Amino acid sequence: MKAAVIVFPASNCDRDLKVALTLSMGREPDMVWHGDSELPDTDLIAIPGGFSYGDYLRAGAMAANSPIMREVVKKAESGTPVIAICNGFQIATETGMLPGALLRNAGQKFVCRDVDLLVTSQNERFVGCFEQGEVIRFPVAHHDGNFYADDDKLNELESEGQVAFRYVTPEGEQTAAANPNGSRNNIAGIYNKAGNVLGLMPHPERLISDELGGTDGKRFFDHLVSSIV
């Protein structure tokens, strides 16, 4: 299996993602610079977290218009799996690959901590290693993670099973206190309609060993890789 990690100026989770993918794949992903206009042959595209272009204008807005993203959007439309994490999620919404937008956190503060997440829908490729309804733990680290979609779009996401993860209590309850950023319906991650693009604010690549505090991210990447091979 081959994977490509897109690298923008001020991406800062690209190497974490490389480590996570390398551990799960047994080979290194290609690191692809944002200014490139062609993608290498790849089975998975990963858009990492960070502060691409310094979050100028809006988080992800400039990166969404970089040359490589035109290729990423084309590949996504033809069915290549894409995982977009944190700033990657913001970039994916800015390109229109994913619906909605990520606003400034409702509490105005940068939030950096582990969060409990409910695995909301069944998408075999991305979350087949988790039980539907299982509560898992990934860290968040963001200032603009407040998921917004208007009422119609939100209803569509819910009824089409496009909500991937929700912020919940450790017991799996969807409460306001468990929501770190004010996201509508406690949404932490969503799929596109076709189910091959996943965007999420939490960072699975940051919990891939017990030394780092947990292995739910390792489970996630091991499964993703095995489902694509």
111 touches another protein (CB under 8 A):
no
Question: Shortest Cβ distance from residue 58 to another protein (Å)?
Answer: 6
10 Å CB burial of residue 93 (0-12, 13-18, 19+) is buried
Residues 6+ apart with CB under 8 A from 77: none
Output 82 or 102, the one with its CB closest to another protein: 102
Lookup: tokens for 88: 């990657």
Residues 6+ apart with CB under 8 A from 78: none
Q: How many residues of this chain bind another protein (CB under 8 A)?
A: 20
The question of whether 112 is a catalytic residue gets the answer no
61 touches another protein (CB under 8 A):
yes
- Residue from 27, 35, 40, 57 in contact with another protein (CB under 8 A): 57
Choice among 86, 129, 142, 223 that is catalytic: 86
100 touches another protein (CB under 8 A):
yes
Choice among 34, 142, 205, 223 that is catalytic: 205
Q: Which of 80, 1, 25 is nearest to 47 (CA)?
A: 80
The four Cα atoms 162, 168, 174, 175 give a dihedral, to 10 degrees, of: -140
Question: Shortest Cβ distance from residue 151 to another protein (Å)?
Answer: 9
The question of whether 13 is a catalytic residue gets the answer no
Lookup: tokens for 92: 């994916």
Active-site positions read 86, 203, 205
Residues near another protein (CB under 8 A): 57-58, 61, 65, 93-94, 99-101, 103-108, 146, 148-150, 182
